Amino acid sequence: MKSNKKFIQLILMVFSITIIFQFAYAADSTPIGQETIPSGSETIPSGSETIPSGSETIPGGSVPGGSETIPGGSVPGGSVPGGQTEGGISSDILGAEGGGIFHPFIILEELYTDNLFATNSNKKSSLISTITPGIWLVFPGNKVKQLQIDTTITSAGGLHLSRVKPEGGTRRYQTYFLYSPEFVFISEYSKHDHINHKAEALFQYNLNFGLSFDLIGIFNAREEISGDGLSDTLYRHQDNLIDFITTYDPPSQKFKIQLSLSNYGLDYKETIVSDRDRNDISYGIALFYKFWTKVDLFTEYNYSDIKFDSAIINDSIENRYYAGANWEITDKTNGIVKLGYIQKDFNSPAVKDQDGISFELRLQHELNAKRSIQATGYRKFHESDMAGASSFLSTGADVTLGQKFTEKWSASLSMFYKRNEYNGFNRNDDVLGIAPAIKFEPRDWMFFDLGYLYYQSSSNYVFYDFDINQIYLRATLYM
């Protein structure tokens, strides 16, 4: 796939820049202090550190419609406890004081599912064992994982929600690279054992006069269930995203302009679903005005050119227009709301064009020192995951409540709902789920998760109906 070569070049470039800066500018590193999390890393209530990697997705793999995620992450509260505890391993054991450069980790998981292939009938239960080693490198040293986003294969441009570029902080530059394979073993269905791969890269640079650059890359090679309600099948695909954002924030700090460019590619190994292979090129511009000290008003325009390799009848262009607000009223409350209009125009006159209201909502709030809430809402078009439809309109919301009991024990409760309405095929799906979890952290370099997930999809076509019950136990060790 052509975009794979571009991504490999990006990975090599970012890794080379990391090494160059490490030896040429080691003295330029500034204390972390209260610096904001660089690029794309969604902040988490309570100021907790981010997940080491690989534990954000629904245990046991994805569900139909792309890489579904449990709202807030499957780690209780969406976070990994930070700080030092007596007797624990220091966070700078493998790198410079203040965060470290090298961060290895390993995640071990045992999961039971009662519906391995998400089918309506003839359900197959299974025990799934997963081993996920990995390492991420960051320079200057930092103890915060730099990216907390993942790709969604049905979403135009590859992102479920638009990427938010936070303030640049005090550092001149930041580089980051992650690689993590995932070894998946499925009991009684060993023919479906597989290895997933994930790689991430980031480079940021901030100039003195208010101009900043932010470049990320995300690559995945993974399996997903067929999602047709009938087949006991896994399909393998590769997808990769290259996303660039540049921002100019003049000295007045009243106005800000942001430009973005991204390239997303999706490629399936099996020819039976090769009609889903596509490449998306997206552009965007946003203008911000600081209305109050901690409130930005903005207008935004995004354009996506979506081209399929073989199913060219589904080629389309999306125009998205938004107005909204970005606020951080206090240290305990922040959020983004975007309301607008979306047009999806298909190149073929045989496919009906679509338009309608679109929105994004993100809210994070600390109710008190030990309790937090995260919520998101959205309405947007997705590329179809079935041959008979050209696309679908997805409207949904998810909420995660986090509760910290002691320094070592915490819990979360995640709930989500979405409705998918297909274009060109009379199919409507209502999807809901609930995911309680509890976390125990005996050391500052180790924690355990025990959780349950109930996932239900109800369709006006009975063979697309299914429900899943999963129970998992996971151990995460990291430095």
What integer pLDDT is reported at residue 364 of this predicted model?
Answer: 94
Contact between residue 415 and residue 452 where contact means Cβ atoms under 8 Å apart: no
Q: What phi and psi values does residue 467 have, to the nearest 5 degrees?
A: -140, 155
395-446: pLDDT as tens digits: 999 999 999 999 999 999 999 999 999 999 999 999 999 999 999 999 999 9
Q: What angle do CA 183, 447, 443 make, to 5 degrees?
A: 130
Q: Which residues pair with 325 in a beta bridge?
A: 297, 337
Nearest of 306, 452, 442 to residue 382 by alpha carbon: 306
Confidence tier at 35 by pLDDT (50, 70, 90) = very low
CB atoms within 10 A of CB 213: 15
Identify the top-confidence range among 46-50, 99-103, 120-124, 182-186.
Answer: 182-186
pLDDT at residue 91 is higher than 70: no
- Segment 460-464 shows an average pLDDT of 92
Q: Which residues contact 190 (CB under 8 A, 6 or more apart)?
A: none
Look up tokens 């005005």; give the residue: 289
pLDDT band at 12 (very low <50, low <70, confident <90, very high): low
- Please report the pLDDT score of residue 116 as a whole number: 95
pLDDT-based confidence at residue 164 (cuts at 50, 70, 90): confident
Q: What does the pLDDT read at residue 73?
A: 31
The pLDDT score that the predictor gives to residue 324 is 96
> pLDDT, tens digit, for every residue of 355-387?
999 999 999 999 999 999 999 999 999 999 998
pLDDT at 166: 65
For residue 332, the SS3 value is coil
pLDDT digits (tens, 9 = 90+) for 234-272: 999 999 999 999 999 988 878 999 999 999 999 999 999
Looking at the whole model, is its pTM more than 0.85? no
- Alpha-carbon gap, residue 319 to 242, rounded angstroms: 20
**Tokens 């309608």 — which residue?**
356
pLDDT at 89: 26
Return the ∠ at Cα 165 (arms to 160 and 168), rounded to 5°.
160
Higher per-residue pLDDT: 127 or 91:
127
Question: How high is the pLDDT of residue 320?
Answer: 98
In the chain, % helix, strand, coil (3-state, to 5) comes to 10, 55, 35
* Token duo for residue 263: 């390239």
Res. 57: pLDDT tops 90 = no
pLDDT of residue 37: 29
pLDDT, mean over the chain = 83
Q: Which pLDDT does position 178 carry in this prediction? A: 97
Domains of the chain: 2-478 (2.40.160)
Q: Phi and psi at residue 17, in whole multiples of 5°?
A: -60, -40
> Which residues have CB under 8 Å from 6's CB, separation 6+?
240, 242, 263
